């Protein structure tokens, strides 16, 4: 082959291998927040030194010191209003800090999810999500320039080396697999990769536009990724995919989330904002930032309780010792015979006070008491002769209820018939088949014209669903399957396309949806709105103290309840709407994603209140721990235009509303049968399974160690492969070794997941 022919082949390959849409892509700028402070971090990705932040006159967080190394994945947790988002904003330069110092590693790309999404964008989904793939665009530009240089007749060794290097860089940045990566991310977030990629962003509702913005951020691949409640607009399948994606993210992750499943899967370290809540009369008493490095979410829950118990016991021991020393000095200090001993006690007292720990705040005392309660419950169960394999049930709960934590009490349900509300042969859907999703989302219920029903698109057909008194029904299904539309029709908030809705004469139905917060008066305080609602729709003698209890249980404590609704964040407004909802006596509660915007303790309070409620509950939620705490009696699956009702408990498979293929595309579930009651199937468990479950915690702990060892071994082989360089023989041997290790690791994870599922079913 001649030199010119060989060059032609190389150039043709270089051009052909570039994805078509990348060949004309403009170079994107690196994602930097204008006010981020970059500096020397000593090799860390991010350093906080004695940082304090405030909101208005109140200092939310005081003296935060934190070092995050490259590749670490941190979850920030804490109660609502603790300052998690404000702390994140201070790091990003969005909010001012009171004191202290923040430094992000020089030249690090920082990515964060703007809450504006992609509203108003008329570009295609594909173009929008690829618009910030800056590193790839730069590599593509370098490849184009190198290719054009050689095509222009420069066959020098320097030009050919530049072309080869550009090709290598383009490949390393994922240029040849960019389309596949885009499809994987968008598919994982719930988009139809065959239909949605070339649609304009403006076709999608606000929630889906936030997904587009999230995909754009993930594809930009920043060195440091900040996410603040990224799961609020995601269904179960998308949440599971995102958790898996973040768990293998190669950069540094800082995640604020109330989603326990996300925190468990995605994070390897936890930072907690804790301490007594600051108040306007004590503006300088901010909360603390406690860090738990190399600590999973489950390990953090245990360690924070143990740390709290050590703090409380140390404080109590020191205070007791202080009292004893003071008593001795007071009694014998004036006696000559005891003067030497009294002097010695004075020195001991001085040293003790210098070393004495601070008084634990209320939340630490409550947490220590909770751990003591759990230990005592376990001892009691052992004394009572409970089977060893059942002892975990004594203390295990999907949500940790801290003694002294918020408590939510719902009004007793008014009397009603055995079947308060039902659908018979119901078809539910939306009128005007030609409407775009964005326009449909903007329509209010009042705009629905009954004359348009004849032209409606039916989403779920022929539904026969009877809600019985004290039924606890969880509605599941893929995003877009029609869950929310169905329960909206059940609530009577929209007309049926066909069939009949039947309600008891004494039906008192409450319907909570996320947009309720938009209907709140903006010029009144949260307390005023909740009091007026409770007295208008419920008991006109409802006390202000009772309303404060409910607002406090939902995270709006103290002076927060006295703020104007218009000054509250979206999440805080949602909690005001939820407070109004639970203050009104109802005998049927229908809730659509009620746990969004709530912290772990508040979710536990809401779940506890609903668990004690004696009426019927219908709920849609992607929060597994919250749903499991309700102990559902029935499961309604919505899929492929049908609804299937089963009388049973939840199982792991109920959270797999879709599967994901190797490209990340969503594969919908199989066709469901019409909604008819199914019998409860009781499966007797054999002795081998009981033994396996009994030994599961011990075996899982061992598996975690083996998994860590396998990960370390694979990392070592990866380092050896880099060191092997051009030694092909050695590289082949190392690859075989790596494949064997990976197979072992996959086997360990498979066994771990099997045991985890076994324990979940038992719970």
Give me 355's structure tokens: 């070393």
* pLDDT higher than 60, residue 103: yes
Domain edge (last residue) among 645, 679, 713: 679
* Percent of the chain at pLDDT exceeding 70: 75
Q: DSSP secondary-structure letter at 121?
A: -
* pLDDT higher than 90, residue 695: no
Check whether residue 485 and residue 614 sit in a common domain.
yes
Average pLDDT over residues 69-81: 89
CB 464 within 8 A of CB 423: yes
* pLDDT higher than 70, residue 34: no
Among 10-14, 57-61, 173-177, where is mean pLDDT lowest?
10-14
Is residue 370 included in any domain, yes or no?
yes
* pLDDT higher than 50, residue 53: yes
Evaluated on CA atoms 121, 127, 133, 137, the torsion sign reads negative
- What is the domain extent for residue 348? 297-395
> Cα–Cα distance between 299 and 303 in angstroms, integer?
6
Is residue 643 included in any domain, yes or no?
yes
Check whether residue 471 and residue 599 sit in a common domain.
yes
pLDDT of residue 589: 95
Angle subtended by helix axes 236-247 and 178-188, to nearest 10: 130
Domain edge (last residue) among 566, 584, 602: 584
Helix or strand (DSSP H, E) at 75: strand 73-77
Check whether residue 749 and residue 634 sit in a common domain.
no
> Cα–Cα distance between 632 and 619 in angstroms, integer?
9
* pLDDT higher than 60, residue 46: yes
Check whether residue 486 and residue 600 sit in a common domain.
yes
pTM score, whole prediction = 0.60
Categorize the per-residue pLDDT at 604 as very low, low, confident or very high, splitting at 50, 70 and 90: confident
Return all residues near 65 (Cβ < 8 A) that are at least 6 apart.
Answer: 48, 49, 50, 51, 289
Check whether residue 523 and residue 631 sit in a common domain.
no
Check whether residue 302 and residue 385 sit in a common domain.
yes
pLDDT of residue 3: 45
Q: What is the pLDDT of residues 632-680, one digit of tens each?
A: 999 999 988 999 999 998 887 777 644 433 333 333 333 333 343 333 3
Residue written as token pair 């509303």: 657
Check whether residue 546 and residue 470 sit in a common domain.
no
Check whether residue 555 and residue 703 sit in a common domain.
no
Q: For 504, phi and psi rounded to 5 degrees?
A: -70, 150
Check whether residue 753 and residue 646 sit in a common domain.
no
Beta bridge partners of 59: 54
Q: Between the CA of residue 43 and those of 46, 255, 568, 716, what are the distances in Å?
A: 9, 21, 39, 21
Domain count for the chain, please give it.
4
Q: Give the angle 547-550-553 at the CA atoms, nearest 5°.
A: 150
Domain edge (last residue) among 584, 602, 622: 584
Categorize the per-residue pLDDT at 502 as very low, low, confident or very high, splitting at 50, 70 and 90: very high
CB 183 within 8 A of CB 197: yes
- The residue that leads in pLDDT, 377 or 195, is 195
Give me 13's structure tokens: 């390959």
Q: Between the CA of residue 540 and those of 112, 525, 535, 537, 587, what are the distances in Å?
A: 46, 19, 4, 8, 18
Is residue 169 included in any domain, yes or no?
no
Is residue 732 included in any domain, yes or no?
yes
Check whether residue 457 and residue 603 sit in a common domain.
yes
Q: What is the pLDDT of residues 372-402, one digit of tens each?
A: 666 566 556 656 665 544 434 433 343 445 4
Check whether residue 498 and residue 599 sit in a common domain.
yes
Is residue 605 included in any domain, yes or no?
yes
Average pLDDT over residues 688-713: 74
pLDDT of residue 412: 87
Is residue 425 included in any domain, yes or no?
yes
Average pLDDT over residues 146-172: 79
Return all residues near 488 (Cβ < 8 A) that are at least 6 apart.
Answer: 428, 494, 511, 513, 592
Is residue 422 included in any domain, yes or no?
yes
Average pLDDT over residues 72-94: 86
* pLDDT higher than 50, residue 684: no
pLDDT of residue 187: 92
Average pLDDT over residues 402-430: 83
pLDDT of residue 293: 92
Is residue 675 included in any domain, yes or no?
yes
Check whether residue 593 and residue 580 sit in a common domain.
no
pLDDT of residue 31: 41
pLDDT of residue 445: 44
* pLDDT higher than 70, residue 529: yes
Q: What is the pLDDT of residues 221-257, one digit of tens each?
A: 899 999 998 887 787 788 889 999 999 999 999 999 8
* pLDDT higher than 80, residue 22: no
């Amino acid at each position: 082959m001649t030199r010119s022919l060989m060059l032609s082949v190389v150039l043709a390959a270089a051009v052909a291998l570039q994805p078509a849409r990348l060949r004309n892509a403009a170079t994107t700028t690196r994602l930097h927040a204008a006010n981020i402070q970059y500096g020397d971090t000593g090799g860390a990705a991010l350093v906080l030194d004695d940082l304090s932040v405030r909101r208005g006159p109140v200092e939310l967080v005081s003296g935060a010191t934190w070092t995050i190394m490259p590749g670490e994945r941190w979850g920030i947790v804490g109660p609502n209003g603790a300052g998690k988002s404000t702390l994140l904003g201070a790091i990003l330069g969005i909010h001012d800090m009171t004191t202290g110092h923040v430094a992000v590693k020089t030249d690090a790309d920082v990515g964060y999810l703007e809450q504006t999404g992609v509203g108003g964008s008329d570009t295609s989904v594909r173009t929008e999500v690829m618009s910030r793939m800056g590193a790839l665009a730069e590599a593509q530009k370098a490849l184009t320039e190198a290719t054009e240089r050689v095509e222009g007749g420069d066959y020098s060794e320097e030009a050919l080396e530049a072309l080869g290097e550009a090709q290598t860089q383009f490949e390393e940045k994922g240029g040849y697999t960019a389309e596949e990566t885009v499809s994987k991310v968008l598919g994982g977030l719930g988009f139809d990769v065959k239909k949605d990629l070339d649609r304009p962003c403006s076709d999608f509702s606000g929630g889906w536009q936030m997904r587009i913005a999230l995909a754009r951020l993930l594809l930009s691949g920043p060195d440091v990724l900040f996410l603040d409640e990224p799961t609020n607009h995601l269904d179960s399948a998308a949440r599971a995919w995102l958790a898996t994606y973040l768990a293998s993210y190669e950069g540094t992750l800082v995640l604020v989330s109330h989603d326990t499943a996300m925190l468990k899967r995605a994070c390897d370290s936890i930072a907690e904002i804790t301490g007594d809540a600051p108040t306007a009369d004590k503006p300088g008493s901010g909360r603390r930032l406690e860090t738990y490095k190399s600590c999973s979410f489950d390990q953090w829950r245990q360690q924070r309780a143990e740390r709290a118990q050590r703090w409380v016991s140390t404080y109590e021991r020191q205070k007791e010792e202080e009292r004893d020393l003071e008593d001795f000095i007071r009694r014998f200090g004036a006696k000559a015979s005891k003067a030497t001993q009294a002097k010695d006690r004075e020195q001991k007292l001085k040293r003790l006070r210098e070393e004495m720990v601070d008084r634990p705040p209320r939340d630490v005392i409550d947490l220590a008491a909770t751990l003591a309660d759990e230990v005592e419950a376990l001892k009691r169960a052992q004394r009572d002769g409970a089977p060893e394999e059942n002892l975990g049930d004594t203390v295990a709960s999907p949500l940790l209820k801290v003694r002294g934590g918020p408590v939510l009490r719902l009004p007793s349900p008014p009397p009603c018939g055995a079947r308060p509300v039902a659908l018979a042969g119901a078809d539910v859907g939306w009128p005007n088949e030609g409407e775009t999703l964005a326009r449909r989302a903007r329509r209010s219920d009042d705009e629905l014209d009954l004359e348009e029903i004849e032209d409606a698109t039916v989403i779920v057909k022929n539904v026969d669903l009877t809600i019985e008194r004290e039924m606890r029904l969880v509605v599941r299904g893929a995003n877009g399957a029609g869950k929310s539309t169905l329960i909206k029709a059940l609530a009577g908030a929209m007309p049926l396309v066909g069939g009949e809705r039947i309600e008891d004469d004494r039906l008192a139905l409450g319907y909570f949806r996320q947009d309720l917060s938009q209907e709140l008066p903006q010029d009144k305080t949260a307390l005023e709105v909740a009091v007026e609602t409770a007295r208008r729709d419920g008991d006109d003698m409802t006390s202000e103290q009772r309303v404060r209890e409910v607002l406090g249980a939902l995270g709006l404590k103290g002076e927060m309840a006295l703020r104007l609704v218009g000054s509250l964040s979206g999440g805080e407004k949602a909690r005001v709407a939820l407070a109004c909802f639970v203050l009104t006596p109802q005998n049927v509660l229908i809730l659509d994603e009620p746990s969004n915007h709530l912290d772990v303790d508040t979710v536990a309070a809401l779940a506890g209140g609903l668990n004690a409620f004696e009426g019927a509950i219908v709920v849609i939620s992607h929060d597994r721990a919250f749903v499991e705490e309700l102990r559902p009696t029935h499961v309604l699956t919505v899929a492929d235009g049908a609804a299937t009702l089963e009388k049973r408990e939840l199982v792991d498979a109920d959270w797999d509303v879709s599967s994901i293929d190797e490209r990340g595309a969503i594969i919908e579930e199989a066709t469901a049968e019409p909604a008819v009651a199914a019998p409860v199937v009781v499966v007797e468990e054999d002795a081998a399974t009981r033994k396996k479950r009994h030994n599961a915690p011990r075996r899982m702990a061992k598996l975690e160690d083996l998994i860590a060892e396998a990960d370390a071994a694979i990392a070592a082989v990866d380092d050896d492969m880099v060191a092997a360089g051009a030694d092909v023989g050695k590289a082949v041997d190392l690859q075989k070794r790596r494949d064997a290790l990976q197979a072992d690791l996959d086997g360990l994870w498979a066994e771990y997941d099997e045991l985890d599922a076994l324990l979940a079913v038992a719970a």
